[in-house]
Structure 1
Amino acid sequence: MAKANANATTTSSCSSSNQSNMGLLLVFFPQDNKFHSTNSKSPTLKPTFSNNNNNNLILPKAQFTLSICALLFFITLLLFTLSTFEPSISNITPHPITKSKTRILLSPYPNTPLATHHALQRMGTLYRRGTRPMHDLTICHVEDEINEHDFRLFVRLIHRSGLTAKSDVVFLFSSRSISDSFARVIRQENNVFSSLVSFHEEFVKSESNFNLSLFYSNKKFEMAETVWGKRIRRNFSEVPGIEGGGGLLLSVGSVLSFDATELDPENSLGGFLERVPMSLRRWACYPMLLGRVRRNFKHVMLVDVKNMLILKDPFGSVRNRSPESVFLFTNKNSGKTRSKTQKRVNSGVVIGGARGVRRLCNAVVVEIVRAAMQCSKEKNSVSDSVILSELAGNEFMRKGSNNVNIIGSTESIPEASFLVGRNSGTATSLLHHSIIERGDDNNEISYVIKKQICSSIDSSVYRDC
């Protein structure tokens, strides 16, 4: 009797379970309703139906779970795509700021610390996009040993010299960590330059050697885009004064940087030298960079940030020369007798036509490898100054595919110690030179230049004055 009651209880429980599950089956699988109604009359089929019912429940649950997972996956993928998508900037109309009779064309890329702005083909960092394409390119290689103070002085003088009015400026670092450490200085000096321009727009500039008129252009801006950064379609027709030629526009070049690991990822000279300093590795980076922009620039200057300072635009001497012409400078210290060593080429500055500089860089790389194979790896006695001196007197450079017109400049690069301090007492003689060499006593020239800037009306712009 107990057993019969137990069976009845079990049957009742199964029937109750089946009836509760029939609702779900009617919603998701109405075609199974007939099958269930027919077979529910046979008590011998009830256990089999219970197993099938459980299997039918697992299937829609699995399908529902997979659908939810797929939906979450696509939503995540969509959000990731939108977050990493860098929209192209199109149809931007530059808004000029009118002050007196001057119109300043603002840059589409503000001086904000955004490292996502690549300079060229997903490489480099663009700190400031120029207002128009430039014909001149200045590449400044930065040694690892330079400190922040000396680097800041170089960048500040670059802006004050008027060089960026007609030239784009590229800083070449040895690694990503070095470029990141100096990126803040570049952005700060870019912002200081913008403040300096605004300041000179509002006040009389009688006590400053900063010449804002160098950055003015009354010519039509070129419709072509700069080579750096994302392509931007500007609507120049809506800018007042451009079509009629009225008004003045601010002409400012781009400021950007590259790492040697981007332009020379394999460290091409590493297999020939035990240690490759930046003074040598830069020659392996130049062909890669200049080859990518070979149709965008007419003149190129290579300059050493650690040992050189630019006070004025030095491109004036090469703009009327052939594209194959290259100027090389020598060191001649006054007060000393000339010797063979003193006639050595100063590798801190190389300037000339883009074609000639590019071919010279290719030749220097080959000569560095040849000299490294002849010398012992432990000595590392390869010098780019010696190599440039040998190439300057090599007739092969003027023949064949090289065809570089190397011109020994009659002007030597003076050392700062002979222009300031105990010899002259003031810094007035600095204004007569485009480029000077820092020399051994770098603190003296830094002090004199800073004093000269801070004693002028520009002192209110610089925080360190």
Structure 2
Amino acid sequence: MGIFLILFPDEHHQQIQSTNDNNSISKKKAINFNLFPPSFSLPSSLKSTKSVNLLYQAQYAISICALLMFTILLLFTISTLPSTTNTTATREYHQPRRQLNGVSSSGRNSSTHALQGMGTLYRRGTRAMHDLIVAHAVESLTSHEFRLFLRLLQRSGTTAKSDLLFVFPSKSSVFDRAIREENDDFMKLLDQYNTNTTLSNNYSSSFSSFKPSHFVKKIDKSKHTGEPIWGRRTRSNLSEVDSAESRRLSYGSVVGFDVEELDPENSLSGFLDHIPMSLRRWACYPMILGRVRRNFKHVALVDMKEVLLLDDPFDKIRGTAMDSVLVITQSSNEKHGRRNLNKAQKLVTPTIIIGGDRGVRRLSDLMLTGIVRTSIQRKRRNSETESALFNQLVGNPFVLQKVKLIASTESIPESISKANFGMVKRRGNADVDVNYILMKLICSFQVESTVYSDCYTYVDK
């Protein structure tokens, strides 16, 4: 209303009223003038009244235009003010800097889609990573085994350089809760060690001790590391970091997918009657690895039931070509199929495959084709073992022309004390419970015993 008072003061209003009165009088006169012959001319007073009307109409049009311009400017000003979303994004960007002295477990991201409307984002990393670990869960994987795999991986420092992607047979609230709890415990553990640096310095260098220095990265303002590809993008400006502070936390993203999202048509159903997760996972890789191609340099395919990662598995292949793939020798007591295999051929395991992004994608495509070809040639709808099919593929150099296969000279060690390859194979017999030994070893540390809620079950046992 104040705008109208400025544009139309009281005196203008009175003039308009007088003008309206004059208009009514002029109309009456115009009626009388119509009685005269057409040759009769209008008086000069009527002409002046008409010009005044045009003047006020022009002023009214100008006032309306000015009002519209003011409204547009007001809306533009409101839209450019800092919103809650931008404030939140800025707070999230500065959070790792504040967490150097204390990490809060409340920094966990809420559940959102991981990539292009699919998957679940459990934790968004601090930056874009060059390595990706794709870990799949078979039907027999228990919650306890899954927790141990994730806990050891988080503690090993591997997630400081790589993203972690889970592939599940189906949606599971048990695994979902386990991931969120382990992520919270990891942030609490990082907080405890950062606030008690003397404790971390006193611990031994064994694979079971936590090293918070792995998760601290020096900031180079001249190089932009980029944002993670998972979840919603946020605006971050590296120049906003104080020049006096040259370090920040660095950890990868944690995401999860189920097979129905990556293989909605169940591609192998037309060739096999029973499709275990160990075989169906190969039908999931073309979808997910194809969507993240060129975002990662190295990829590892891991069976969480069989393999525990105690160190960075990519250290063995750094510096190799992008089409190189490292395969590892099977242990002596691991079940496998020997049919159609050369006796001199050394068997390898499909439970852990590490290589360049291009090489792993090509190998996974060839494995999927090999599964289909074998079922058609043998006219059997019962599935072959994954180990037998994988060794047939590895033993065919003609098929692997576009993959530089690197066969390791060592098998995955079964003894914890011999875990010189950065991982440990789960022992299949009942003589040694690797899970129990590792959990008790983790809980023997002072900080870990207070952070992990399940450590009370391993005290004095």
The two structures have a TM-score, normalised by structure 2, of 0.71
Alpha-carbon deviations, 1:3-31, whole Å to 9, x = none? xxxxxxxxxxxxxxxxxxxxxxxxxxxxx
For the residue of structure 2 that corresponds to 1:92, the secondary structure is helix
Q: How many residues align?
A: 353
Residue 446 of structure 1 deviates from its aligned partner by 1.0
**Which of 102, 106, 110 is the equivalent residue of 2:107?**
110
1:121 aligns with 2:116: yes
The residue type equivalent to 1:436 in the other structure is: V
> For residue 181 of structure 1, what is the amino acid of its counterpart?
V
Does structure 1 residue 464 correspond to structure 2 residue 449? Answer: no
Q: 381, 389, 395: which is aligned to 1:387?
A: 389
Indicate the residue corresponding to 2:428 in structure 1.
Answer: 440
How far apart, in 2, do the equivalents of 1:91 and 1:251 lie? 17
> Structure 1: which amino acid aligns with 2:241?
V
- Cα–Cα, structure 1 residues 375 and 350, in superposed 2: closer, same or farther, change >3 Å? same
Cα shift at 1:373: 1.5
Partner of 1:346: 349
Q: Residue in 1 aligned with 2:228?
A: 226
1:347-373 CA-to-partner distances (Å, cap 9, x unmatched) read 100000000000011100100001111
Structure 1 residue 211 displacement after superposition: 1.2
Contact 2:97/2:247 (CA < 8 Å) preserved in 1? no
- 2:325 aligned partner: 326
Is 2:174 aligned against 1:181?
yes
> Within 5 A, what are the aligned runs for 1:30-429?
92-93=90-91, 94-96=93-95, 102=100, 110-111=107-108, 114-115=110-111, 117-176=112-171, 178=172, 180-203=173-196, 204-205=199-200, 206-207=202-203, 209-220=209-220, 222-241=224-243, 246-333=245-332, 340=343, 343-377=346-380, 379-380=382-383, 382-399=384-401, 403-415=402-414, 419=415, 427=416, 429=417
Equivalent position amino acid for 2:437 in 1: V
- Equivalents in 1 of 2:128, 2:275: separation in Å? 34
**Other-structure match for 2:61:** none
Cα separation, partners in 2 of 1:88 and 1:171, compared to 1, 3 Å:
farther
Per-residue Cα deviation, 1:118-144 (whole angstroms, up to 9, x for no partner): 000000000000000000000000012
The answer on whether the counterparts of 1:105 and 1:249 sit within 8 Å (CA) in structure 2 is no
Q: Following the alignment from structure 1 to structure 2, what is the Cα–Cα distance between the partners of residues 103 and 397? A: 53
The answer (yes or no) to whether the contact 1:333–1:414 under 8 Å persists in 2 is no
Query: Which whole-Å CA distance do the structure 2 matches of 1:356 and 1:128 have between them?
Result: 28
Shift of 1:387: 2.4
CA offsets, 1:391-425, max 9 Å, x none?
A: 223222343xxx1101101221122xxx2xxxxxx
C-alpha displacement of 1:169: 0.2
**Is the Cα contact below 8 Å between 1:130 and 1:253 reproduced in 2?**
yes
Unaligned runs of 5+ in 1: 1-86, 420-426
**1:99–1:261: structure 2 CA closer, same or farther, 3 Å change rule?**
closer
- Report the CA distance between 1:296 and its aligned residue: 0.4
The amino acid of 1:186's aligned partner reads I
Measured at CA, do residues 188 and 299 of structure 1 come closer, stay the same or move farther in structure 2, by a change above 3 Å? same
In 2, distance between residues paired with 1:390 and 1:359? Answer: 16
Q: Could you tell me how far apart the structure 2 residues matched to 1:146 and 1:253 are?
A: 24
Contact 2:413 2:420 in 1 (8 A): no
**Kindly tell me: are residues 341 and 140 of structure 1, through their superposed partners in 2, closer, same or farther at Cα, counting changes over 3 Å?**
farther
Extract unaligned runs of 5+ from structure 2.
Answer: 1-84, 456-461
Q: Secondary structure at the match of 2:308?
A: strand
Instruction: Report the Cα distance in structure 2 between the residues aligned to 1:363 and 1:105, rounded to whole angstroms.
Output: 44
Cα distance, 1:276 vs structure 2: 0.8
The question of whether the paired residues in 2 share the 8 Å contact of 1:104 and 1:249 is answered with no
Residue 436 (structure 1) shift? 1.3
| Aligned AA (2:242) | P
Q: Distance in 1 between matches of 2:90 and 2:303?
A: 37
Give the aligned residue type for 2:368: V
**Cα distance in 2, alignment partners of residues 341 and 393 from structure 1:** 11
Contact kept? 2:103, 2:187, Cα under 8 Å: no
CA change 1:103–1:292 in 2 (3 A) is farther
Contact 1:330/1:342 (8 A) holds in 2 = no
Shift of 1:317: 1.1
2: CA distance, partners of 1:135 / 1:144? 30
- Cα distance in 2 between the residues matched to 1:134 and 1:98: 19
Q: Do the aligned residues in 1 keep the contact of 2:101 with 2:191 (CA within 8 Å)?
A: no
2:318 and 2:104 map into 1 onto residues whose CA distance is: 27
**Percentage of pairs with the same residue:** 45
Is the 8 Å Cα contact of residues 137 and 167 (structure 2) preserved in structure 1? yes
Any conservation in 2 of the 1:133–1:222 contact (CA below 8 Å)? no
Q: How far did 1:90 drift?
A: 7.9
Shift of 1:216: 1.5
Q: Distance in 2 between matches of 1:89 and 1:394?
A: 57
Cα distance, 1:131–1:138 mapped onto 2, change above 3 Å: same
Provide closer, same or farther for how the CA distance between residues 431 and 215 of structure 1 changes in structure 2, counting only shifts above 3 A: farther
**2:75 maps to what in 1?**
none
Contact 1:283 1:364 in 2 (8 A): yes
Q: What code does the residue aligned with 2:203 have?
A: E
